[in-house]
Amino acid sequence: MTATRPAEEPPLARPGRATHLPFALLGAIQVTLVFTLASIAVPLPAIGCRFGLDREELVLLSAAYGLAFAGLLLLGGRLADRYGGRRALIAGLALFGAASALAPFAPGHGPLLAARFAQGAGAAVVAPAAMAVLRVLFAERSAYRRATATWGGLSMLGATAGNLLAGIVSALLSWRWALAAPLPVTAAALALAPRVLPPAPAGTGRPAGLDVPGAVLATAGIAATSYGLVMTDARPWASAPVLVPTAAGAVLLVLFVRAERRARDPLLPPGFLRDGRRAFGLTATGLTAAGTSTVFVLFSLHLQNGRGWSALETSAAFLPFAAVLLVGASGAGRLVARHGPAAVTAAGLAAGAAGLALLASRGLDPDVPYAHGILPGFLLLPAGAAASFAGAAVLATDRVPAARTGLAGGLHNTAMEAGPTVGFAVLLAVGSDAASLAAAALLFAATAPAVRRAGR
């Protein structure tokens, strides 16, 4: 039976239960997804020693989760729109949880790599499905915008928590315990989701098809391009392991765009990104993710290799960063409600640019004390990032028909996952670490006024 095409803006039923527990559950899930992405960075050297991995194998292991996550997000968004957010979320959690249970017991590189890919595939279904449930949970537009603004800050908090806790757990216990960290939240979410999360509203209809050709082209294109860019960490830009997958991915993405123009029910409707607010929201999300992830990588290496700090001391150095993010995420909804998402995003980018400039000018000098050279940037950058993520999340998902909420959530998460991959490769190609941070600061500063204008 052919499903009916949804109306442009079907009505959303208000949830009958309090929203605090469902939102807390969805927030914990989102933090866990991003936590899992970041949690392998600190224990990666120990994993490499255990399994005897070379640099390319380490790079691929580090990127496996993100490659599957980013590549499958558009399909995950379509599944959430077609089958309902709660149903898709539970299915994705089951896959994510099974892979998370296998990863800590992996006997070698191959099984661990497969588990990380499977975790990313499950996360690609869960993330947009959670945003679809969020839309049902907060039916009134102003409440939905406040919830989405808070949601935007949770992802950055998850990334910071992943770096912090993985370093602490790996130092005190082992890297296998760090890989097991997602299991308690996943188990609790699978038990609670059917009882506390609202189902899709009755009678809203479903998109007519899954657009399998579009899904294959998009997944292969994003994954291949991302893989090529990831390989720049181990190989030069002119090498075959970089050029071949990057070029193949670019061709596949061009074919995807052409196929979507002819598809009866496209995975990504051609006009979906013509909204300037949405486009700039996605741009700000990707740019903020790229800048902050670059800081995580560069300063994790600088503190351990340049200053001789331990993994535990390095994790402790990021505690102020995490504290500011937590405070910023908690107040983001009120800021967006008072000043609007575009103004908050632009202000966040400007503050982030200042933080990056401070880190570029003094943070990488081993002779400058942490309190003077690194800490000011570690306070200003997360404050800006929290505001930017919050406002950008609203810009990227606001004014979207309810039946396309999963798609909007998939695109938002794609920008968040692809941003660090693309941004890190491009920024490191600029030259020195300080030059990379300075280039990120300039990009933040240049984007801020454009975002403000787009939101008017």
For residues 4 and 135, the model is more confident at 135
Which residues, including other chains, have CB under 8 Å from residue 139's CB and lie 6 or more apart?
12, 13, 14, 15
Give CA–CA dist 304/293, Å, rounded.
17
What digits encode the pLDDT tens for the residues 389-425?
888 888 888 777 777 777 788 888 888 877 777 777 7
Give CA–CA dist 176/43, Å, rounded.
9
Which residue carries 């950055």 as its tokens? 156
Task: Give the model's pLDDT for residue 10.
Answer: 38
What are the C-alpha distances in Å from 29 to residues 116, 184, 326?
17, 11, 16
How many Cβ atoms sit within 10 Å of the Cβ of residue 49? 10
Mean pLDDT of 283-311: 83
Task: Give the model's pLDDT for residue 1.
Answer: 39
Task: Give the model's pLDDT for residue 137.
Answer: 86
What digits encode the pLDDT tens for the residues 323-380?
888 888 777 778 888 888 888 999 999 999 999 999 999 888 888 899 988 999 999 9
Task: Give the model's pLDDT for residue 116.
Answer: 93
Given pLDDT bands bounded at 50, 70 and 90, which one contains residue 207? low
Residue 54 DSSP one-character state: -
Q: Is the pLDDT of residue 123 over 70?
A: yes
Q: Side chain identity at 209, as an amino acid letter? A: G
What is the pTM (predicted TM-score) of this model? 0.79
Given pLDDT bands bounded at 50, 70 and 90, which one contains residue 125? very high
Give CA–CA dist 354/170, Å, rounded.
33
User: Nearest to residue 281, comparing CAs of 388, 145, 414, 143?
Assistant: 388
Give CA–CA dist 349/408, Å, rounded.
22
Which residue carries 């009505």 as its tokens? 11
Give CA–CA dist 109/94, Å, rounded.
23
Interior angle at CA 162, CA 331 and CA 246, nearest 5? 105
Give CA–CA dist 39/32, Å, rounded.
10
Given pLDDT bands bounded at 50, 70 and 90, which one contains residue 456? low
Task: Give the model's pLDDT for residue 11.
Answer: 38
Give CA–CA dist 38/165, Å, rounded.
10
Mean pLDDT of 97-125: 93
What are the C-alpha distances in Å from 254 to residues 136, 251, 269, 313, 338?
34, 5, 15, 46, 40
Give CA–CA dist 103/336, Å, rounded.
39
Mean pLDDT of 281-302: 85
Asked: is 20-198+267-454 a CATH 1.20.1250.20 domain? The reply is: yes
User: Nearest to residue 297, comparing CAs of 103, 50, 66?
Assistant: 66
Task: Give the model's pLDDT for residue 188.
Answer: 95
Q: Is the pLDDT of residue 5 over 70?
A: no
What digits encode the pLDDT tens for the residues 65-106?
888 888 888 888 888 888 888 999 999 999 999 999 999 999
